[in-house]
Amino acid sequence: MTDGIPLGLAIYSAFAELLKFVVKEDFVGACHDTSAVLHMLLAENNVPSELCIGEVGVGSRYFDHSWVEVLGSVFDVAVCMPDYAGEPVGGPVFDGIDLAQGRPSELVYGAESGEGLGLAAQPALSLDLEGFAAIQPQLNIWVLAVAIAGRAGMANPTFTHFQLRYGAVRRRFRKNPT
């Protein structure tokens, strides 16, 4: 689909740099952080995207998760690095494709378990990015955004720029599969 998405190279560049970081640093269980950063980097390149949160289904299992959608297509770096209590469910998803399998992802984004989001995901849903960053431990989304933006070729990215421009952004709750 990226052939039909404006600025496909910008999407690829941001996604690839973020994925390299996540894998190299063993940045597990960081879907709320990585999706926020990907959303910001896409916006910096004038790529319209939606920052999403909801449940994801795989077989009979469900987990709380955040991801990015561009024109309804899923882009999900962190799904390949579940937290230590989670189970692997596939590779990173780029334009709906599981990159580890080279075929459409079998994950159902926006699935409904009937239980809703758990307590750990509630802050990501209820807070804007400014509030979410304020409750994070040391490596917050602004620091990560600056680091990845620089690697993706953005000239002079700053903490303040990202904080002021994206602090009021909220995630969109997704239910009903996309």
- Tens of pLDDT along the chain (178 residues) come to 455 555 788 899 999 999 999 999 999 999 999 999 999 999 999 999 999 999 999 999 999 999 999 999 999 999 999 877 778 899 999 999 999 999 999 999 999 999 999 999 999 999 999 999 999 877 689 999 999 999 998 888 999 999 999 999 999 999 986 5
Separation between Cα atoms, residue 98 and residue 109, nearest integer Å: 13
CA 168 to chain CA centroid, Å, is 17
Residue 173, helix vs strand vs coil:
strand
Whole-number Å distance between alpha carbons of 37 and 129: 10
Amino acid 4: pLDDT: 57
Residue 1 forms part of a structural domain: no
Using CA atoms, how far apart are residues 174 and 110, in angstroms rounded to an integer?
A: 5
Question: What was the pLDDT predicted at 178?
Answer: 54
Domain that holds residue 162: 7-173
Scan for tokens 């600056």, then name that residue: 146
Give the total number of structural domains in the chain: 1
Prediction pTM value: 0.93
pLDDT for res 88: 83
Residue 78 DSSP one-character state: G
Give the pLDDT score at 1.
46
Instruction: Kindly state whether residue 109 falls inside one of the protein's structural domains.
Output: yes
Does residue 2 lie in a domain region? Answer: no
